[in-house]
């Protein structure tokens, strides 16, 4: 039986894959909800012992698209896609590209 931590990691990985597969190549700006979901997935992975803080889309990475007006900060789709790809590649490289029980495997941060 999977532990709560393992289930959380699987769910975060599934969200990352789902996000990556559904970000439109036609849209210059990513909807803010996708940016927030990406950061939540990283938070879940960080809580599981992975140190992925370097990949987070921080508030200073967000921009205000002129068409959306003040207060509508979001990220370019290309930035979000590149961060998701970076996280997924991180796990592939760290895991030696071998099949893992939860879809990826990487060393845990030492606290």
Predicted pLDDT of residue 13:
85
Q: What's the pLDDT tens digit per position in 48-65? A: 888 898 999 988 888 887
76 Cβ contact list (under 8 Å, min separation 6): 28, 29, 30, 63
Asked if 17 and 88 count as a contact pair (C-beta separation under 8 A), the reply is: yes
Q: How far apart are CA 16 and CA 37, in angstroms?
A: 9
pLDDT of residue 16: 92
- Band of residue 42 on the pLDDT scale cut at 50, 70, 90: very high
For residues 30-47, average pLDDT: 90
- Cα separation of 12 and 37, whole Å? 9
Greater confidence (97 vs 75) lies with 75
79's tokens: 């930035």
Neighbours of 9 (CB within 10 A): 25
**Integer Cα distance of 16 and 30 in angstroms:** 14
């Amino acid at each position: 039986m999977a532990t709560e931590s393992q289930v959380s990691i699987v769910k975060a990985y599934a969200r990352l894959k789902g996000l990556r597969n559904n970000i439109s190549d036609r849209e210059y700006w990513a909807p803010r909800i996708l940016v927030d979901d990406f950061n939540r997935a990283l938070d879940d992975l960080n809580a599981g012992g992975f140190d992925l803080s370097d990949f987070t889309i921080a508030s200073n990475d967000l921009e205000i698209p002129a068409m959306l007006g003040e207060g509508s900060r979001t990220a370019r789709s290309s930035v979000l896609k590149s961060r998701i790809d970076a996280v997924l590649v991180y796990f592939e490289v760290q895991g030696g590209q071998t099949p893992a029980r939860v879809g990826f495997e990487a060393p845990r941060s030492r606290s």
